[in-house]
Amino acid sequence: MSEIFLGLLDLQGRILAAGRPVETAFLAVDMVHSVLPYRQAALWSGSDGMVALSGAATVEGGAPYVLWLGQVLRSLSPLTAPRIVTAGDLKPGLAEDWADWLPQYALALPLDGEILLYARDEAFAGQDVALLAHIAALVRVSRQALAPRTGIRERFRSLDGRRSRLITAAAVLAALFPVTGSVLAPADAVPAHPVVVRAPLDGVVDRIAVQPNALVAEGQDLFALDSTQLSGKLDVARSQWATAEAEYRQTAQAMVFDAKAKAQVAILSGKVQEKAAEVRLLEGQLARIAVKSPRAGVAVFDDAAEWIGKPVAVGEKVMAVSDETDTEVEAWVAVADIGEVRPGAPLTLFLNTAPLSPVRATVRSVAYEASARPDGTIAHRVRAALAGGEAKPRLGLKGTARIDGDTVPLVWWLFRKPLATMRQYAGL
């Protein structure tokens, strides 16, 4: 009796120390023999079929013995308590082959979806059943503890009912937890009140006197148009004016002796005034081809080389002059996210140069129509005025803007984009 007890303790320790379910299955069908003799043993699972056989390193799923024994154990399932099985307990089709595969007596033990079977020639006494039932309980606990649980159903199955209900309630509350919907968009600091400098007349840009983003003073030269055409017209107009004046003087002198000359004086006088006005117009245009800065600030325009030699029309914008600190935020919101943005919404700008010092602003306007950006993407332009007391970022600084929207449940915030994508492609 003491040898059985010591053997049981050793087997129990080895079962509890097993690191994989297959190790537990091997101990259950092969090593129990050291505690209680038997001829054959098998471990069968309702989902995986035959798991282990005594005396076999592997299980051949198509072997006749395995197929027959699987049918026998399936006929006993579901099994809720230890059961002694003989050939008389089976259907005639299975009972006929009992003598070919198993000894006279077998003991089936339930393992929560699995069955552990021991068979021998001697009948199982009550103490034998109790001992094997204890071993089966150890095997069941070990296999459940070592079995991987990856699905939600398996994880909840391992919890008691109360904890499952608490976790479900917590998940529902978390899904309904209100959060502020927000969108992210690239943004930069742009002039808030720029003074636009336009071409004063039709012509070709001859030179750019300043560099992009350079500080300029009031009255400083910014750019100039080509004067070749105007200078030529002015020379011709001055010559015509001088000729008209000479004709006028000659006719005025001849008027004393010639009655016909008296009638020509008024006509020639008007012609002189016309040529003089043309000269003054061209002189005024020639004086305006050099454009000066209307205020002190920063010259905002693209590469100067792109403007030189470019024809411009009167009133066409060439550059702008803005105060370096008089800035606001310009963000480009993707078409899919524009529905979350409204005028008056809070905007937070995280500058690339100072990501830990966000700048607060309020959305001032949202473009109704999307436009193409220089990088080829289509987005809506959003302008936001900086909040009072905020340090205005320097003109041209870039970063990322977060625009806050309405308060929505967490589950909607998480699944809004996946649902929108699913609806676009699947029409659901």
Asked if the structure places residue 7 within a domain, the reply is yes
pLDDT at 98 over 60: yes
Same domain, 18 and 128: yes
270: nearest Cα among 246, 294, 288, 244: 244
Same domain, 85 and 217: no
Domain boundary pick from 296, 319, 342: 319
Q: Are residues 9 and 126 in the same domain?
A: yes
**118, part of any domain:** yes
- Domains: count for the chain: 3
- Please check whether residue 215 lies inside any domain of the structure: yes
pLDDT tens-place string over residues 338-356? 877 889 899 999 999 888 8
358 and 313 part of one domain: no
pTM of the complete model beyond 0.85: no
Among 279, 296, 319, identify where a domain stops. 319
Q: Which residues contact 21 (CB under 8 A, 6 or more apart)?
A: 142, 143, 146, 147
Dump pLDDT digits (tens) for 102-145: 999 999 999 888 999 999 999 999 888 998 898 889 988 888 88
**Residue 85 belongs to domain with CATH number:** 3.30.450.40
Q: Which pLDDT belongs to residue 84?
A: 92
Q: Which two tokens stand for residue 313?
A: 């029309």
Q: In this predicted structure, which of 28-32, 45-49, 223-227, 408-412 has the lowest mean pLDDT?
A: 408-412
Pick the last residue of a domain from 319, 342, 357: 319
pLDDT per position as a tens digit, 358-398: 999 999 999 988 888 877 789 999 999 998 777 788 888 89
Q: Tell me the two tokens of residue 256.
A: 């004393």
Are both 9 and 141 inside the same structural domain?
yes
In this structure, are 210 and 305 located in the same domain? yes
Same domain, 412 and 384: yes
Structural domain boundaries enclosing 136: 2-147
More confident residue, 291 or 171: 291
The CATH number of whichever domain residue 333 belongs to comes to 2.40.30.170
Q: For the chain, give percent helix, strand, coil, nearest 5.
A: 40, 30, 30
Separation between Cα atoms, residue 90 and residue 74, nearest integer Å: 11
Examine the domain organization and report whether 310 and 366 are in the same domain. no
Both 143 and 12 in a single domain?
yes
Same domain, 14 and 142: yes
Q: Is residue 178 part of a domain?
A: no
Q: Is residue 160 part of a domain?
A: no
Calculate ∠ Cα 263-265-268, nearest 5°. 120
Q: What is the pLDDT of residues 76-97, one digit of tens each?
A: 888 889 999 898 888 888 888 8
